Structure 1
Amino acid sequence: MSNSFNAQSTLNVAGQDYEIFKLDAVPNSARLPYSLKILLENLLRHEDGVTVTREDIDYFSHWNPQAEPDKEIQYRPARVLMQDFTGVPAVVDLAAMRDAMRELGGDPSRINPLQPAELVIDHSVQVDYFGSDQAFAKNAELEFERNQERYNFLKWGQQAFDGFKVVPPDTGIVHQINVEYLSRVVFAKSLAGHTQAYFDTCVGTDSHTTMVNGIGVLGWGVGGIEAEASMLGQPVSMLVPKVVGFKLTGTLNAGVTATDLVLTIVEQLRKHGVVGKFVEFYGPALASLPMGERNTIANMGPEYGATCGLFPIDQVTLDYLRLTGRDAQQLALVEAYCKAQGVWHTADAPEAAYSETLELDLGTVVPSLAGPKRPQDRVALRDLASHFPAALAALKAERQLPNKGPATVVLDGQTVEIGDGSIVVAAITSCTNTSNPSVLIGAGLVAQKAVARGLTAAPWVKTAFGPGSMAVTRYLDRAGLTEPLKALGFHNVGYGCTVCIGNTGPLPEPVSQAIAEQDLCAVSILSGNRNFEGRVHAEVRMNYLASPPLVVAYAIAGRIDLDPYRDPLAVDAQGQPVYLQDIWPTPDEINAVIAECVTPDEFTAAYANVFAGDDRWQSLAAATSQTYDWPADSTYIQEPPYFKGMSLAVAPVTDISGARCLALLGDSITTDHISPAGSIKPNSPAGQYLISLGVEPKDFNSLGSRRGNHEVMMRGTFANIRLRNLMAPGTEGGVTLHQPSGDTLSIYEAAMRYQAENTPVIVIAGKEYGSGSSRDWAAKGPRLLGVRAVIAESYERIHRSNLIGMGILPLQFLSGDTPAALGLNGTEIFDIVDLNGGEAKQVTVRVTAADGSVKTFMARVRIDTPNEVDYYRHGGILQYVLRKLAA
């Protein structure tokens, strides 16, 4: 290793010496934003003259905040974080790479994580049971029944791969466990004869990895493909980004929650535009901004579009680490290291040099929700009653839904009426808010006050509470708030993401039938971070994000179209109206409970045996072989075909000729639209495949749980019920027109016919293609369907990277060009020429219409870095890594 700036030094903390690389060795580094200081330290520590040079480091000494990003660096995060939906296919790929390494004549054990990799099983539990004390146990039992093959596989991976740890199911949500337990903030690693200290950094296979930014850890979501490469020692190739400084001033008013604050920030940053940028929060409000609020804001980085939303390390950080049970030596190291590096934040710290700045006075934030289908569509609570009718009318017009009126249903012997605007799902769910004691204690106090007035949840509401970690259960129990929540139906349904990712489970049959018969626009209200169409539940068309206390209040009301400032939520046992303000707790009430009941004891007890698992996990039998013995009859885990027939030689990149359009899509196509997710319908290609193997529909489980089986996943790609393919007007779902026959087929069936005809396919889309969660199957699925290129007006960062990681060419229309402006309708033949071995910056797209006429347009190649060129040339990032290791 090189040390061009003489940055190597020694730091003594409580009698322990640590090797560190001092930032102040680089001229002008003090003015850098905190996030860039972390990148700089990373380069200082990994300077080798090849992947990291003196010039790379010196770039930061004259960093121009206003310049457009053009400097590529090779960044090595300290660890990789995974959840099971995205983690299972990552481990599947590693297992397949071991087989491929053996086929290429190499040593399979070389395929092994070189960076610590931690996987939390939190995405598999579904809310089949709710509203009872047995809900958690029954949901957990079903989870193990459905996922035993996956869990056996993960236990094999835990013993087969060094440096790979698994947090078993029914323990907590990945991002909450990350901030409460896994994160080090400052890492200490034993090397030959000494211990090195450095900033804790991570990449994760979930876009909400950004939550860890709240405690000062630089981390963001990547696709499983990038995460696998990082585990295998490959650096993350990135451009040094612009950094947006977001100044926070003032204090929140009484009655305003962290959720209201983050929805306001999401709206403001989306309007400003921060895609591809780092965001850092600073300003006088930080000193009094609790960690719960910081974590909430950091969590929703993907919703405001930033790569990260970072908070500095300060006394609030240290107090949180102490609260959550970190040991004394770790606390001392965090404080001493940050002070030695000049990154310890204080109220009088000078402002960094930012590319752009924004400001928010916390005193201007008002109670809010977001919906009905995007997290950035904030609605002030006082405006919701007037907002909803317009949103409902717009949705009905867009979907051409008739006005059939309300439906009368019988639930548990009670006759009730539900209609448009009826809330059928109310869920306290998702790490966004379950990691924040203030809003959970607030929800418990709302429930306590409501129960004291004799109120109950509306009978047609499916209620759910996913606590996020066992520590939450412990402090709510200690505060005496668990029973009031249960009295309103908010029983613990499982320690997992549940409703926020669509694991909502079935609605009560009478409710489901009424929605279908009357074409009702039913509503969900949840404390999550995503409310895209079709995500929460296939039968629920409108979804609103809200704070946990508001979720409880609206569960009582049972409908979204009321004015909570004027209309009562319900009538109490004495026939008196109960208004929102009657049951809303004061800040003093919330803070008193937090001070008494949220203590280090609750966290240390919750995490004492976090990797052990329950009896079900411990009883799972797992193989101990170096390579995985793929079970031929498994419908969950199958060896993927990415490396079949692969050789050490790299085939030359060729132009794409004679391609057909598989789908012509509009704006804001999310990874939810592309990637297989949610339930499996019996009449879908994935459902028909499982039925052909003897799997009954009751045992289908979710698409997400079957991410380790490429046969299921490729059949579920582009199959979202809300996808609208403009090639097939009047349809909704995964439907397309095969060309030139004009036959109406599922997208999967059309793709297979094109493959049989040896015809490559492309996808054409509008703005923000691939927004949403970082889902590797949103790239893997199209690759297996034969998609060679995507041409879009713009991309979200992670998805563009994932396309390249799977060998798919991302092209972007030039400014002013759109599919409509170019007259594209999907019936044409497309030739993409002048690729120049993958190194071209622009290509020519030649379009031959059905009548034989030809036109051309230019498209920008969105392969942005030299490393990405290498990945594309090799057919994907995993092939690149495998060839490098095998050679």
Structure 2
Amino acid sequence: MADSFATRARLDVNGKSYTYSSLPKLGERFDIAHLPYSMKILLENLLRHEDGVTVNADHIEAVAKWDAARQPDTEIAFMPARVVLQDFTGVPCVVDLAAMRDAVTRLGGRPEQINPQIPSELVIDHSIQVDVFGRADALDLNGKIEFERNKERYGFLRWGQKAFENFKVVPPNTGIVHQVNLENLARVVMARELSDGNGGNELWAFPDTVFGTDSHTTMINGIGVLGWGVGGIEAEAAMLGQPSSMLIPQVVGFRLSGKMPEGATATDLVLTVTQMLRKHGVVGKFVEFYGDGLAHLPLADRATIGNMAPEYGATCGIFPVDAEALSYLRLSGRSEEQIALVEAYARAQGLWHEPDQPEASYSATLELDLGQVKPSLAGPKRPQDRVLLEDVKANFNENLGPLVAKRNGGQDQQVEGFREEGGAQPQAGALAAKPVSRIILDDGEHELADGSVVIAAITSCTNTSNPAVMLGAGLLARNAAAKGLKAAPWVKTSLGPGSLVVTDYLKKAGLLDELEKLGFYLVGYGCTTCIGNSGPLPEEVSKGIAENDLAVAAVLSGNRNFEGRIHAEVKMNYLASPPLVVAYAIAGTVDIDLTNEPLGHDSDGQPVYLRDIWPSNKEIGDTIAATVGPELFAQNYADVFKGDNRWNAIASPEGDLYEWDEASTYIKNPPYFDGMTMDVGGIDDVHGARVLGLFGDSITTDHISPAGNIKQDSPAGKFLVSRGVQPADFNSYGSRRGNDDVMVRGTFANIRIKNLFFGGEEGGNTLYFGKEPPEKMPIYDAAMKYQADGVPLVVFAGKEYGTGSSRDWAAKGTNLLGVKAVIAESFERIHRSNLVGMGVLPLQFRDGENAQSHGLDGSETIDVTGLDDGKARAATVVARKAGGEEKRFEVDVLLLTPKEVEYFRHGGLLHYVLRQLAAKQNA
């Protein structure tokens, strides 16, 4: 380990002596006092990992001399201190590691070479579904169903926990990964024995930094931990000790001032921040929060803001370590020894924040007076589309037209043709009278109409970590129940807390019973509705929706509301605070102005308004003080990795190599390494490709990567039936991410995706041009025909391609379909990286250009030339129509660093790692 700038120093805390890379010592050579907090974390990371090869003195100097105004152009290597995974993305990670053990053995290596080199913890939180709701035994029944559905996956993870070093699993029914990370796993400052370079070890202290296989890993930024979401491919590389290449980022400062007003919640704040930052443009940038407003912002509110970084597009949204961070560590049951280390290290490194300290230099600065925050929702299909509570009714009606245009005899229009922008769209002609479906439920006949709320879910990491909004929801439920109000009978209500701690403080406050009175029974501890695990709607409700093709709504306290994500039958989805979720469950519709219209009527028939039952900020604060304490965290995390009887009863194999079951439809040895040798390929031009998909803007990883339920008549459903799986046992796509046969069949198969081959028609279809006339068929079927023909494929898309969750299968499935390049107007950061990691070339249109501007309709054959084995920063696309007409245009090659070029030559990041390890063993 090199130390070019002589920064190695000692820190004595709690009777222990720690080695650390001293930023103040570096500050004797460079003026680093003005650097943002996050940039100092990057700087320390480089100092500690300097080896003269991956990290050298020039890299350190580049960050030390960081120019806030400079566009990113300098590559550095970042190595996180640990990795955190959730089970939907974690299972395929462990599958890949198991496959790599097989592959490295074939290449002459040893299985034990494939082991996480840094602490890697997986939290099982994505498999619970809301099958049962609205009853006291919902938690137990959903848990039984979960274990029955997923016992094969869970057995595989138990094998992984035994077979791999530095790998731990937090079993089901513990909490959501990001909340467990915040409440228990995060160290803030790490203490670890590291090599001293002379054959021995020494105890080091360094910042806790983390990669997570979920984009909302950024929630941990709220407590000063630098981390962000990555694809499973990049996470696996980090686990295997590989650095992550990145460009030195710009850092946007966000100054907070003032104090939150009465009636406003952390959810309202984060939706406001999200809208502001999306408008400003922070994709690929760090965002850092500071200002005197931090003094009035509890840690839970900070975590809520950090959580939504993917929604405002930033790599991270970080807060500094300060007295509030220490208070939270103490509240959440961390040891006094650890708290003392965090404070001493932060102060010694100049990472400690005081309210009156000088401001850092930032690439740009935004400001928000917290006192101006107003009650808000976001929707109906993007988290950045904030809507004031008073405007929700109008927003619903403005967005209704395109959703019901076909029903009204019109055409399903795209207002701008090629684009699919967010926000309100004009009405598609005059709407006919809104139809009503009459349904019979247990308590009698009811009417469903456009805007009826059929799902009201308190769910997801964004809000369920926050006592203010969770207890606020309980207090509102208490006040509503006291007036005789109930949830509308057609609403599927659910309560999915982020951890066991939340349930305990709701019980302690006497509010869990109050939520149950309104139908919000505990359904499980996991992401549930926010990731599409909302479960089936009651049969009568489903029939009522289908009868008149109703545009019904979901209201949830989540962070994602993309099309087709929440439920296949729900066309409009609004994000809201937990108290507003309860309010809309009572109202039963989003076609209402809750600021002026009554929610319902009390037992005397008098109207009850939202303002009548909304708890005050003081009441919420007093309830938090009386109920939330360290003892709740201590008792719930005492044996966090142990699991219950169901978990410990699951059978799992033994041995260093996994015994693959050829009959399994859950876990399968993937084909990525089939036929792999030690020979490295090149980056070749693409010739004679066909267009698999022609897409508009905001194609999310939900659109690309399979998620949610598997339809029986889909390619994946037909495959499962052919393997003897009954439709009732299909489970979800997410639960089957360990089987490539299922996942590749679901790639680009989202019910809401719109391939512009067919105008505005929804569904994962394409045209196969291998015959005349071209044949319409599912994208998977066409891709397999093209593969049989030996024809490569490309995808065209608009802006923000790959936005959303960090799903590695959005890249893996694209690769397995035979797609060689994706040509888009812009890419979201994680998905672009994942495409590179799987050997799919990301190409970007020049400003102002897209497929439409070049007159492309998808019938063309495509060449991509001039790649020059990855040396070229631009390439030429030649599109040939059937009549011989050619269109040529330049695109940018988004292999952004030399390391990415190297990965691509190897066929992908994992192939690169495998060859490096095998070469080391064979040397």
TM-score w.r.t. structure 1 length? Answer: 0.99
| Aligned mate of 1:84, from 83, 87, 102 | 87
- 1:642 is paired with a residue whose SS is helix
Whether 1:344 aligns to 2:374 is no
1:857 aligned partner, one-letter code: F
Q: Partners of 1:516 and 1:534 in 2: how far apart?
A: 16
Question: CA deviation digits over 1:397-435, x for unaligned, max 9?
Answer: 474798560111111141111100110000000010000
**Conserved? CA contact 1:80–1:227, under 8 Å:** yes
1:348 aligned partner, one-letter code: D
Q: Partners of 1:586 and 1:536 in 2: how far apart?
A: 31
Of residues 645-654 and 432-441 in structure 1, the stretch that sits farther from structure 2 once superposed is 645-654
- 1:196 is paired with a residue whose SS is strand
Equivalence for 1:372:
380
Q: Partners of 1:638 and 1:359 in 2: how far apart?
A: 50
Whether 1:182 aligns to 2:214 is no
2:303 aligned partner, one-letter code: N
Q: Partners of 1:740 and 1:190 in 2: how far apart?
A: 60
What is the percentage of aligned positions where both structures have the same residue?
A: 61
- Specify whether residues 730 and 8 from structure 1 end up closer, same or farther in structure 2 by C-alpha distance, changes over 3 A only: closer
Equivalence for 2:862:
830
| Aligned mate of 2:739, from 709, 717, 728 | 709
Q: Partners of 1:467 and 1:137 in 2: how far apart?
A: 15
**Conserved? CA contact 1:173–1:468, under 8 Å:** yes
Equivalence for 1:267:
275
Question: CA deviation digits over 1:225-261, x for unaligned, max 9?
Answer: 0000010010010001000000000111010000000
Give runs of aligned pairs for residues 100-249 of structure 1, distance below 5 A. Answer: 100-191=103-194, 192-249=200-257
Question: CA deviation digits over 1:431-453, x for unaligned, max 9?
Answer: 10000000001000001111111
Equivalence for 2:449:
419
Q: Partners of 2:169 and 2:797 in 1: how far apart?
A: 38
Equivalence for 2:575:
545
Q: Partners of 2:119 and 2:412 in 1: how far apart?
A: 47
Structure 2 residue runs without a partner (length 5+)? 195-199, 406-410, 414-427
- 1:30 is paired with a residue whose SS is coil
**Conserved? CA contact 2:750–2:764, under 8 Å:** yes
Question: CA deviation digits over 1:784-838, x for unaligned, max 9?
Answer: 0000111111100111110000000111111232101111111111111111112
1:615 aligned partner, one-letter code: N
Equivalence for 2:419:
none
Q: Partners of 1:713 and 1:94 in 2: how far apart?
A: 18
- 1:749 is paired with a residue whose SS is helix
- 1:31 is paired with a residue whose SS is coil
| Aligned mate of 2:693, from 644, 649, 663 | 663
| Aligned mate of 1:614, from 641, 644, 661 | 644
- 2:242 is paired with a residue whose SS is coil
Question: CA deviation digits over 1:690-714, x for unaligned, max 9?
Answer: 0001100000000010000000000
Q: CA deviation at 1:193?
A: 4.5
Q: Partners of 2:453 and 2:848 in 1: how far apart?
A: 42
Equivalence for 1:96:
99
Q: Partners of 2:32 and 2:557 in 1: how far apart?
A: 40
Equivalence for 1:55:
58
**Conserved? CA contact 2:132–2:141, under 8 Å:** yes
Question: CA deviation digits over 1:732-789, x for unaligned, max 9?
Answer: 1110000142011100000000000000001011111100111000000010000011
Q: Partners of 1:34 and 1:144 in 2: how far apart?
A: 43
Q: CA deviation at 1:653?
A: 2.5
2:570 aligned partner, one-letter code: V
Q: Partners of 1:847 and 1:373 in 2: how far apart?
A: 33
Segments of 4+ moved more than 6 angstroms: none
Of residues 333-342 and 12-21 in structure 1, the stretch that sits farther from structure 2 once superposed is 12-21
2:12 aligned partner, one-letter code: N
Q: Partners of 1:630 and 1:286 in 2: how far apart?
A: 52
- 1:386 is paired with a residue whose SS is helix
Q: CA deviation at 1:507?
A: 0.3
Structure 1 residue runs without a partner (length 5+)? none
2:356 aligned partner, one-letter code: D
Equivalence for 1:778:
810
1:186 aligned partner, one-letter code: V
| Aligned mate of 2:361, from 346, 353, 356 | 353
Q: Partners of 2:724 and 2:594 in 1: how far apart?
A: 51
- Specify whether residues 490 and 399 from structure 1 end up closer, same or farther in structure 2 by C-alpha distance, changes over 3 A only: farther
- 1:721 is paired with a residue whose SS is coil
**Conserved? CA contact 2:379–2:561, under 8 Å:** yes
Q: CA deviation at 1:34?
A: 0.3
1:883 aligned partner, one-letter code: R
Whether 1:683 aligns to 2:688 is no
Cα RMSD of the aligned pairs, angstroms, is 1.0
Q: CA deviation at 1:855?
A: 2.4
Equivalence for 2:259:
251
Equivalence for 2:837:
805
Q: Partners of 2:412 and 2:581 in 1: how far apart?
A: 27
Q: CA deviation at 1:854?
A: 2.0
**Conserved? CA contact 1:728–1:737, under 8 Å:** no
Q: Partners of 1:839 and 1:609 in 2: how far apart?
A: 52
Q: CA deviation at 1:6?
A: 1.0
Q: CA deviation at 1:386?
A: 2.4
Whether 1:719 aligns to 2:749 is yes
Whether 1:500 aligns to 2:530 is yes
Q: Partners of 2:704 and 2:92 in 1: how far apart?
A: 17
**Conserved? CA contact 2:412–2:760, under 8 Å:** no
- Specify whether residues 730 and 34 from structure 1 end up closer, same or farther in structure 2 by C-alpha distance, changes over 3 A only: closer
Q: Partners of 2:784 and 2:770 in 1: how far apart?
A: 15
Equivalence for 2:417:
none
- 2:626 is paired with a residue whose SS is helix
Of residues 819-828 and 396-405 in structure 1, the stretch that sits farther from structure 2 once superposed is 396-405
Q: Partners of 1:577 and 1:841 in 2: how far apart?
A: 65
Whether 1:405 aligns to 2:413 is no
Of residues 406-415 and 229-238 in structure 1, the stretch that sits farther from structure 2 once superposed is 406-415
2:152 aligned partner, one-letter code: E
Question: CA deviation digits over 1:608-636, x for unaligned, max 9?
Answer: 11111110100111112100000011010
Q: Partners of 2:681 and 2:562 in 1: how far apart?
A: 40
Q: Partners of 1:739 and 1:75 in 2: how far apart?
A: 44
Q: CA deviation at 1:576?
A: 1.4
**Conserved? CA contact 2:287–2:316, under 8 Å:** yes
TM-score w.r.t. structure 2 length? Answer: 0.95
| Aligned mate of 1:66, from 53, 64, 69 | 69
**Conserved? CA contact 1:29–1:60, under 8 Å:** no
Q: CA deviation at 1:396?
A: 2.8
Equivalence for 1:575:
605
Q: Partners of 1:83 and 1:62 in 2: how far apart?
A: 37
Q: CA deviation at 1:348?
A: 1.0
**Conserved? CA contact 1:373–1:531, under 8 Å:** yes
Give runs of aligned pairs for residues 315-330 of structure 1, distance below 5 A. Answer: 315-330=323-338
Question: CA deviation digits over 1:29-49, x for unaligned, max 9?
Answer: 111000010000001111111
2:8 aligned partner, one-letter code: Q
- 2:673 is paired with a residue whose SS is coil
Give runs of aligned pairs for residues 406-555 of structure 1, distance below 5 A. Answer: 406-555=436-585
Q: Partners of 1:354 and 1:476 in 2: how far apart?
A: 41
Equivalence for 1:334:
342
**Conserved? CA contact 1:171–1:495, under 8 Å:** yes
Q: Partners of 2:412 and 2:261 in 1: how far apart?
A: 40
Of residues 23-32 and 84-93 in structure 1, the stretch that sits farther from structure 2 once superposed is 23-32
Equivalence for 2:197:
none
Question: CA deviation digits over 1:579-614, x for unaligned, max 9?
Answer: 101110001111111001000011111111111111
Whether 1:755 aligns to 2:770 is no
